[in-house]
Amino acid sequence: MTDLTTLYQTDYAAWAQRNAELLRERRFDELDIEHLLEELSDMSKSDRRELHSRLLVLLAHLLKWEFQYRSLSERWREFKGDSWRSTIVEQREQLADLLRQSPGLKSAVDGAIADAYPVAVRLAHKETRLPKTIFPEICPYSRDQVFDDDFYPESE
């Protein structure tokens, strides 16, 4: 077991700092390649999970906005969808920030929307108790609409 492997198991911050120093000094043969690859892979997975999770919440709220907003606002005059709007705004901001910090994720957005949408439908169905069949099978929102701060779907 190398010193870096031991350091990885006992002091992650020191391990990361030491590997950074070795990279700067171009001492590649001394790097803890196995753990560096593992960490880089995990970082990518974590970012992709966050992208999926935030899109799921955003899409579910866009669906609720489109398919339930009118019935609730007719029932309760004071209902304006403020909490839904807040969630939509927050998820869009968080997604924009994630894509600024990890620009490589931009190429994964379309696939992530397609993957998150069926789960968003299930979530919207459970939260609204509207029939699943009311929601489109394929995401009705374009990538631009999903990220557009001014886009709120028309209520049915």
Distance CA 106, CA 135 (A): 26
Tokens of 137: 């099978």
Give domain status of residue 72, yes or no.
Answer: yes
Lowest mean pLDDT among 42-46, 117-121, 150-154: 42-46
Q: Is the dihedral of CA 118, 121, 127, 132 positive or negative?
A: negative
pLDDT level of residue 3 (50, 70, 90 thresholds): confident
Residue with tokens 């403020």: 82
Lowest mean pLDDT among 1-15, 65-79, 140-154: 65-79
Average pLDDT over residues 108-134: 95
- Entry pTM: 0.74
Domain tally, the chain: 1
Tokens of 105: 């994720």
Q: What is the CA radius of gyration of the chain?
A: 22
Quick: pLDDT tens for 84-115: 889 999 999 999 999 999 898 899 999 999 99
Give domain status of residue 31, yes or no.
Answer: no
Q: Residues for the chain: how many in total?
A: 156
Give domain status of residue 16, yes or no.
Answer: no
Identify the domain containing residue 91 by its residue range.
Answer: 47-147
Quick: pLDDT tens for 53-73: 999 999 999 999 898 866 655
Give domain status of residue 90, yes or no.
Answer: yes
Give domain status of residue 40, yes or no.
Answer: no
